[in-house]
Amino acid sequence: MRQPGVPHPRLPLPEGQEDLVAFQKWLGEAIPMVGSLGIESMSLHNQSLTWQLALMPNLNDKGTGFGGALSAQTTLQGWCWVTLWLRGQGMARDVVVAQATQRFLAPVTGDYRLICTPEEPDGIEQLTQKLAERGKGRIALTQQLYCGDALCLEAHGSYAVLPGSD
């Protein structure tokens, strides 16, 4: 059983392409609330991390998506994006959210997808440069939540990569 103040063991770095099913399983063990968020699948394509999510575990009293759960999902997805990118670079580092905002545009009325990408076209290059120069860095990410073709939520987050010993 997890204890407050005790870090969860890191997932070993991948040898080759990341196994997203294994990553999602580890994520649920490392962050217990993940199992309640309705994440059905994850996929990585170019600079984009996409999640497919079920609405049922995230319902509010009105029968639509609960804003608190949706906010948690966007924040977590940004953390996962940075963590997976680092793992792809052979780095096991601590990542923290420095700032996060959400803008709710329409109610979420069915299962949905959440897409996370760098906010700036050269965001990855900037992060790579900061890590090489200073051993730490930040990247701004955008998360967009779609229910069908409707954009229901847009979130922005700044994620910090802490200095490491890898």
CATH topology of domain 20-161: Thiol Ester Dehydrase; Chain A (3.10.129)
Question: What is the pLDDT at residue 165?
Answer: 64
pLDDT tens digits along 108-163: 999 999 999 999 999 999 999 999 999 999 999 999 999 999 999 999 999 999 99
HSE-up of 135 (CA within 13 Å, CB side)?
4
60: left (phi over 0), alpha (psi -120 to 50) or beta: beta
Q: Give the whole-angstrom CA distance, residue 44 versus residue 64.
A: 27
Query: What pLDDT shows up at residue 141?
Result: 98
For residues 136 and 130, the answer to whether their CB atoms sit within 8 Å is yes
Q: Please give the pLDDT value at position 166.
A: 54
pTM (2 decimals)? Answer: 0.95
- Report the alpha-carbon distance of residue 13 to residue 31 in Å, rounded: 18
Question: Please, what is the Cα angle at 51 between 85 and 76, to 5 degrees?
Answer: 60
Q: Residue-wise over 53-91: b if at least 16 C-beta within 10 A, else e?
A: bebeebeeeeebbbeebbbbbbbbbbbbbbbbbbbeeee
- For the record, the structure tokens of 39 come out as 């994440």
The letter for the amino acid at 28 is: G
